[in-house]
Structure 1
Amino acid sequence: MIIMKFKEKDTEEIVSLFYETVHSVNLKDYSQKQLDVWATKEDKASTINSWQVSLAHNITFVAKINDKIVGFSDLTDEGYLDRLFVHKDFQGQGIASALVDMLESEAKKRNLLVIETDSSITAKSFFAHKGYNIICLQTVERKGVKLINFKMRKKLTT
């Protein structure tokens, strides 16, 4: 596996990975209706366009195996870990840890003291294992459907 900085040409593959992962990996913690509003297939074209801008602006890394994107993650300049997704067929192989480690290292270089994220139920134990603490449980509403997630925070050490 290699981890590299995001390139614009990666966007469509990243968005496809996001949709596939949400609809398979998160199925154990969310209903099909919740998954459908979280990752709406009809919005895929607009997601590609908006993510291309935000991923290019943020600190974004992609993990590749044999030139295939198997994971990605991004962090805003303010220290918000926006997205972390690993391909459904590559779960549990250390890809998410490697991506988060890269983002945390980059955050420290930029003198950020804290990283915050809104974690899914599915990812909560991963983030806890990486030293993130639960700040609060949140209910987010998308298209009239409620989803539970967790505001989590990690103080970075120098």
Structure 2
Amino acid sequence: MQIRTFTDTDIDAIVSLFYETVHEVNKRDYLQEQLDAWASQDDKPLKLQIWGQSMRQNIAYVAEIDGKLVGFSDLTPHGRLDRLYVHKDFQRQGIASALVTRLEEAARHAGMVEIDTEASITAKPFFESRGYRVVLAQEVERKGIKLVNFKMHKPL
């Protein structure tokens, strides 16, 4: 596995990986209508544009195996771990851990003293195993549909 810095040419693969992952990996914790609201194919053109812009501004990494993009993650300049997704066929292989380790190292190097994130029900145990603690369980609304997630925090 290779972890490298995000480039603009990654955005199509990133957005596709996001949709596939949400609809496959998160289906054990969310209803289909919630998955559709969270990762709607209707939003794909806008997501390609907005995510490309935000990932250029953030500290962003992708993971590749044999040239295939299998994961991505990014951290805002204010210490928010914004996105962390691993391809549905590459779960539980250390990819998320490698990406988060790289983000945490970059955050320390940038002088950040803490990281926060909003984790899905599915991702919460992973973040807890990495030392993140739940600050608040919350319901967020996407397209009129409520989804549970968790505000989490980790001092560095």
Q: Secondary structure at the match of 1:131?
A: coil
Q: Secondary structure at the match of 1:149?
A: strand
Q: Tell me the amino acid that sits aligned with residue 118 of structure 1.
A: E
Deviations 1:57-109 (A, max 9, x none): 10000000011100000000000000000000000000000000000000000
TM-score under structure 2 length normalisation: 0.99
4+ residue segments displaced more than 4 Å: none
Mapped partners of 1:39, 1:10: distance in 2: 18
Mapped partners of 1:31, 1:116: distance in 2: 26
Structure 2: segments with no counterpart, 5+ residues: none
Q: How many residues align?
A: 156
Mapped partners of 1:63, 1:142: distance in 2: 28
Deviations 1:102-140 (A, max 9, x none): 000000001100000000000000000000000010100
Mapped partners of 1:2, 1:63: distance in 2: 6
Mapped partners of 2:32, 2:3: distance in 1: 32
Mapped partners of 2:81, 2:105: distance in 1: 13
Tell me by how many angstroms 1:42 deviates.
1.1
Q: Secondary structure at the match of 2:63?
A: strand
**1:27 matched residue in structure 2:** 27
Q: Secondary structure at the match of 2:112?
A: coil
**1:64 matched residue in structure 2:** 64
Tell me by how many angstroms 1:143 deviates.
1.1
**1:152 matched residue in structure 2:** 152
**1:133 matched residue in structure 2:** 133
- Backbone CA RMSD of aligned residues: 0.4
Q: Tell me the amino acid that sits aligned with residue 5 of structure 2.
A: K
**1:119 matched residue in structure 2:** 119
**1:37 matched residue in structure 2:** 37
Structure 1: segments with no counterpart, 5+ residues: none
TM-score under structure 1 length normalisation: 0.98
**2:104 matched residue in structure 1:** 104
Deviations 1:132-155 (A, max 9, x none): 000010100111100000000000
Mapped partners of 2:118, 2:43: distance in 1: 21
Q: Tell me the amino acid that sits aligned with residue 62 of structure 1.
A: V
